[in-house]
């Protein structure tokens, strides 16, 4: 290389340096993260090339320099398990410099193309996350319970064990769950279907509000929950963890154990098992009969990761059996009225571990194969194939039929193909392009002896996305994405002749094949939906402490199986629910803002959002149908226009190294613009406050948590009347299913003791008390609120052994 190329910058640098020499007081700080899962890297060395200035990152991955002279500097970040990274920077003011490191294998020295695109896409729509410590705490509970600790996330429940995460007042098909990079397909459309996934097999959970993770789909206006497994350490090692929980309430517990073996040439194998069993749970004053739960999961993983290529085969199986409160099984609205009128469930049996009807049984199997290859240091491609088989059985209390015959017996199989290409250009631009194909097959077993709730269908989906991210400096980034999906349904459904005619389907859909069987029609609806999603966002860092981001998301969602085809009696509310073939796609426009103060004693985030949804699909009462069990309210899926806005906020104050105080709060407003009334099942204002004491040297910590949930004063009126006979007279009585329960408050306590069973691995024993004061409450978002109080106090012991 000609000498002048060296000399010129050198002279320039010297000049620059001499001019600014008197001002050597710049502060440089930042965070070093793992490229794969964004976890902070502890003990990385950050040094300035050509000088002896160096520092090491803290446990949070943070580093800090002060008294740095302005000018052109080369930063080098090194870590024993990772490739070093260099970056040239011209400094003129205090700067934040963040780096990502890739774990490496000794024999390969190429630097991997960074995962920036995806990360910054998530970065602009502010993400929240749960780390493995937080996940472990909820080891014996479910995904929704763990996520509930984040501002903006609520839980839609059916009893205590069936819990669905709700983001910004949306749930089900409006919230995506992504595990190992693939959307979970588990009949998420049902309000009483909990995600069939085991929390314990993941170590990192990210919550992306809005739908800005277009790689995983563009149809989730609520948000996406991304679950990632533990990161790999590419050296010879064997490690594991066992968590044991014992709970007083429900007299049950759980055990979860995982073990992973890695080798220095990139092979890894891991296995995980977890199981839990609880008997009937207790409300403060009585037993919640038939609320036991059993669950068993295993997962196995084998793979090889080299820097330039890698593959993985992954299998997991999830199985559960959940009892539904016996007192909540009703036959008609008069039964519902009777349940509403009493404070105590109509049926309370002695405590038992047995789970009787009504109950749910689910099995979810997941097979995943992935292969990636980096063809140059600018291009990386990845191939994924995923197969999911989800079976769901619901057992009702029935007459003349063995208890082992389910009333609902569905098998949903999904094949998912994904090809993803990532490349980097000059000008700090990263791109990602991919094609996603989905084939889904639903089979509804006819041996139930009950009309199919969801019909047999085949659904084909083909989608493609193109994403880009531009990050010219550490303090600014811009990202954008576009995704197009084609959804095709091929359905075979029986309709009652009378229903088919009453809804005018024969006129609206003259092309559908129809075959008549007595008073039933077998119809073959073929439906097509083309959906477009786009998003763009910017995120900026303002000075040392503040950051802000703005995201706009357009998402379109095609109606789900339940919205299109539901057909029958819903036992928990004694309603007849009908889908509609005439539904069109739902179109959501959402803007999210985030302001954060990330440093100092006082930290905080404020996240307002606003969205407008046209063709918002909802279910509402439309009339009364006379049946042999009396009059039933008929609920029909329909569309309206809706607007949502809300604020999620978090404040974190550090009194001293020992004491911290956190407050999280969120508020959601949702309005039906056509019917001019509030939307149903929107979380009321809620807040949690956490006071935490950490002993010096982190030997133990104490935590006191207060939850407050206010009364939801915005609710639509969905009441109806029923004629009852009282003292020989027919009386019309109001069945109030609309008025939400009162506000409540509950307090949790947590004490954890930390110790090292073996070097570098922290084990712990925790003593946890939930609902200390035995607060008697009912929650608006729990569908069992009509029948019983929520669960009372629970003492829990938790052991976590890491080895």
Partner 1 sequence: MKFILNIQYKTLYVLLSLIIISCSKEDPEPINEEELITTVQLTFKAPGITDQIVRWQEGSNNSDAISLAANTQYEVGIIFLDESDPSDIEDITEEVKEEADEHQVFYEFSQLNIGLEQSSSDTLDSNQNPVYINSLWNTSEVGSGTVRVYLIHEPVTKSSSTRDGFAGETDVAVDFLITIE
Which residues contact partner 1 by CB under 8 A? 311, 313, 329-332, 334-335, 338, 346-347, 369, 371, 385, 387, 397-401, 413, 415, 439, 441, 444, 446, 448-452, 455-456, 458, 490, 492, 494, 498, 517-520, 522, 626-630, 724-725, 728-730
Query: Least distance from C-beta 185 to partner 1, angstroms?
Result: 13
* Strand boundaries in 6-70, DSSP class E: 26-34, 45-48, 54-56, 62-68
Q: Determine the 3-state secondary structure of 419 from DSSP.
A: strand
Please tell me the distance from the alpha carbon of residue 290 to that of residue 296, in angstroms, as a whole number.
Answer: 19
Q: Determine the 3-state secondary structure of 281 from DSSP.
A: strand
Q: Which residue has the tokens 């299998």?
A: 315
Q: Which of 408, 414, 412 is nearest to 359 (CA)?
A: 408
Query: Least distance from C-beta 391 to partner 1, angstroms?
Result: 15
Judged by beta carbon, residue 27 or residue 317, the one nearer partner 1 is: 317
Distance set, CA 584 to CA 61, 529, 589 (Å): 48, 8, 16
Judged by beta carbon, residue 215 or residue 452, the one nearer partner 1 is: 452
Query: Least distance from C-beta 37 to partner 1, angstroms?
Result: 24
Please tell me the distance from the alpha carbon of residue 686 to that of residue 149, in angstroms, as a whole number.
Answer: 11
Phi and psi torsions of 413, nearest 5°: -115, 135
Distance set, CA 259 to CA 184, 298, 301, 364, 554 (Å): 24, 12, 11, 22, 42
Please tell me the distance from the alpha carbon of residue 85 to that of residue 483, in angstroms, as a whole number.
Answer: 33
Q: Determine the 3-state secondary structure of 79 from DSSP.
A: strand
Judged by beta carbon, residue 47 or residue 368, the one nearer partner 1 is: 368
Q: Which of 632, 628, 659 is nearest to 578 (CA)?
A: 632
Judged by beta carbon, residue 491 or residue 768, the one nearer partner 1 is: 491
Judged by beta carbon, residue 376 or residue 695, the one nearer partner 1 is: 376
Judged by beta carbon, residue 248 or residue 490, the one nearer partner 1 is: 490
Q: Which of 388, 728, 444 is nearest to 562 (CA)?
A: 444
Residues sharing a CB contact under 8 Å with residue 611, sequence separation 6 or more, in sequence order: 168, 221, 588, 589, 590, 591, 643, 644, 645
Query: Least distance from C-beta 512 to partner 1, angstroms?
Result: 14
Query: Least distance from C-beta 352 to partner 1, angstroms?
Result: 16
Q: Which of 528, 527, 532 is nearest to 464 (CA)?
A: 532
Distance set, CA 225 to CA 479, 606, 638 (Å): 20, 20, 27
Judged by beta carbon, residue 328 or residue 619, the one nearer partner 1 is: 328
Judged by beta carbon, residue 134 or residue 413, the one nearer partner 1 is: 413
Judged by beta carbon, residue 19 or residue 344, the one nearer partner 1 is: 344
Query: Least distance from C-beta 338 to partner 1, angstroms?
Result: 6
Judged by beta carbon, residue 346 or residue 769, the one nearer partner 1 is: 346
Judged by beta carbon, residue 440 or residue 686, the one nearer partner 1 is: 440
What radius of gyration do the chain's Cα atoms show? 28
Please tell me the distance from the alpha carbon of residue 492 to that of residue 455, in angstroms, as a whole number.
Answer: 6
Token pair for 63: 């580093």
Query: Least distance from C-beta 568 to partner 1, angstroms?
Result: 10
Query: Least distance from C-beta 507 to partner 1, angstroms?
Result: 22
Please tell me the distance from the alpha carbon of residue 577 to that of residue 622, in angstroms, as a whole number.
Answer: 10
Query: Least distance from C-beta 261 to partner 1, angstroms?
Result: 19
Query: Least distance from C-beta 491 to partner 1, angstroms?
Result: 10
Please tell me the distance from the alpha carbon of residue 435 to that of residue 262, in angstroms, as a whole number.
Answer: 32
Evaluate whether 276 touches 247 at the Cβ level (below 8 Å).
no
Query: Least distance from C-beta 309 to partner 1, angstroms?
Result: 8
Judged by beta carbon, residue 717 or residue 736, the one nearer partner 1 is: 736
Phi and psi torsions of 307, nearest 5°: -60, -40
Please tell me the distance from the alpha carbon of residue 749 to that of residue 795, in angstroms, as a whole number.
Answer: 10
Query: Least distance from C-beta 78 to partner 1, angstroms?
Result: 31
Judged by beta carbon, residue 308 or residue 743, the one nearer partner 1 is: 308
Distance set, CA 791 to CA 39, 537, 695, 770, 777 (Å): 35, 42, 32, 10, 8
Query: Least distance from C-beta 729 to partner 1, angstroms?
Result: 6
> For residue 335, what is the enclosing H or E element?
helix 333-341
Evaluate whether 514 touches 522 at the Cβ level (below 8 Å).
yes
Query: Least distance from C-beta 178 to partner 1, angstroms?
Result: 21
DSSP annotation of 59: T
Judged by beta carbon, residue 116 or residue 487, the one nearer partner 1 is: 487
């Amino acid at each position: 290389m000609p000498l002048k190329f060296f000399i010129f910058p050198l002279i320039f640098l010297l000049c620059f340096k001499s001019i600014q020499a008197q001002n050597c007081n710049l502060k440089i700080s930042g965070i070093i993260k793992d490229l794969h899962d964004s976890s902070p890297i502890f003990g990385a060395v950050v040094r300035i090339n050509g000088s002896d200035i160096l520092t090491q990152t803290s446990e949070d991955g943070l580093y800090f320099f002060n008294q740095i002279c302005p000018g052109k500097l080369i930063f080098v970040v090194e870590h024993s398990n990772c490739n070093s990274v260099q970056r040239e920077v011209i400094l003129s003011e205090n700067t934040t410099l963040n780096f990502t490191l890739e774990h490496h294998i000794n024999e390969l020295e190429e630097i991997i193309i960074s995962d920036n695109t995806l990360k910054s896409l998530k970065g602009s729509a502010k993400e929240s996350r749960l780390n493995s410590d937080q996940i472990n705490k909820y080891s014996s509970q479910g995904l929704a319970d763990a996520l509930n600790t984040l501002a903006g996330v609520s839980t839609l429940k059916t009893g205590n064990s069936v819990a669905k995460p709700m983001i910004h007042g949306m749930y089900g098909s409006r919230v995506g769950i992504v595990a190992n990079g693939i959307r979970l397909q588990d009949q998420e459309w049902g309000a009483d279907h909990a995600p069939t996934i085991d929390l314990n097999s993941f170590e990192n959970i990210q919550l992306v509000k809005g739908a800005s993770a277009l790689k995983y789909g563009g149809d989730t206006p609520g948000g996406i929950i991304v679950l990632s497994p533990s990161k790999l350490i590419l050296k010879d090692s064997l490690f594991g963890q066992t968590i044991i929980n014992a709970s007083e309430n429900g007299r049950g517990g759980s055990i979860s154990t995982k073990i992973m073996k890695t080798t220095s040439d990139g092979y890894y194998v891991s296995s995980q098992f977890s199981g839990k069993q609880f008997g009937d749970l207790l409300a403060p004053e009585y037993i919640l009969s038939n609320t036991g739960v059993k669950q068993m999961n295993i997962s196995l993983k084998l793979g090889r990761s080299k820097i330039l290529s890698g593959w993985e085969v992954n299998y997991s199986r999830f199985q559960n059996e959940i009892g539904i409160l016996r007192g909540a099984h009703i036959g008609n609205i008069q039964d519902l009225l009777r349940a509403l009128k009493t404070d105590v469930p109509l049926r309370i049996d002695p405590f038992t571990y047995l789970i009787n009807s009504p109950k749910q049984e689910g099995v979810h199997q997941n097979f995943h194969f992935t292969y990636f290859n980096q063809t140059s240091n600018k291009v990386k491609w990845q191939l994924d194939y995923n197969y999911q088989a989800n079976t769901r059985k619901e057992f009702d209390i029935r007459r003349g039929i063995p208890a082992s015959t389910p009333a609902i017996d569905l098998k949903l199989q999904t094949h998912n193909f994904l090809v993803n290409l990532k490349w980097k250009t000059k000008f700090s631009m990263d791109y990602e392009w991919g094609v996603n194909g989905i084939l889904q097959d639903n089979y509804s077993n006819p041996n139930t002896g009950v009309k199919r709730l969801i019909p047999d269908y085949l659904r084909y989906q083909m989608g493609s996305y193109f994403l880009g991210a531009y990050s010219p400096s550490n303090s600014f980034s811009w990202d954008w994405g576009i995704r197009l999906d084609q959804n095709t349904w091929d359905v075979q459904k029986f309709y009652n002749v009378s229903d088919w005619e009453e809804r005018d389907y024969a006129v609206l859909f003259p092309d559908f094949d129809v075959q008549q069987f007595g008073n039933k029609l077998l119809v073959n609806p073929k439906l097509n939906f083309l959906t477009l999603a786009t998003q763009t966002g910017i995120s900026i860092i303002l000075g040392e402490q503040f950051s802000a981001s703005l995201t706009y998301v357009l998402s379109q969602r095609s109606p789900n199986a339940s919205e299109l085809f539901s057909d029958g009696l819903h036992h928990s509310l004694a309603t007849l629910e009908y889908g509609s073939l005439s539904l069109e796609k739902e179109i959501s426009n959402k803007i999210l803002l985030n302001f954060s103060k990330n440093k100092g004693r006082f930290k905080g985030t404020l996240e307002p959002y606003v969205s407008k949804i046209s063709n918002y699909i909802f279910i509402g009462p439309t009339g009364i149908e006379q049946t042999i069990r009396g009059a039933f309210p008929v609920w029909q899926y329909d569309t309206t226009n809706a607007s949502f806005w809300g604020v999620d906020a978090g404040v974190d104050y550090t009194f001293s190294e020992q004491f911290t105080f956190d407050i999280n709060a969120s508020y959601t407003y949702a309005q039906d613009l056509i019917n001019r009334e509030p939307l149903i099942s929107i979380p009321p204002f809620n807040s949690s406050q956490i006071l935490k004491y950490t002993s010096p040297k982190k030997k133990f910590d104490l935590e006191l948590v207060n939850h407050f949930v206010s009364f939801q004063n915005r609710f639509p009126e969905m009441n109806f009347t029923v004629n009852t006979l009282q003292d020989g007279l027919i009386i019309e009585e109001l069945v109030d299913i609309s008025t939400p329960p009162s506000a409540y408050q509950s307090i949790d306590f947590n004490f954890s003791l930390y110790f090292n069973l073996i070097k570098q691995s922290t084990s712990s024993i925790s003593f946890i008390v939930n609902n200390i004061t035995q607060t008697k409450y009912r929650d608006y978002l729990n569908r069992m609120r009509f029948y019983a109080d929520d669960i009372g106090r629970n003492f829990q012991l938790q052991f976590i052994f890491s080895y």
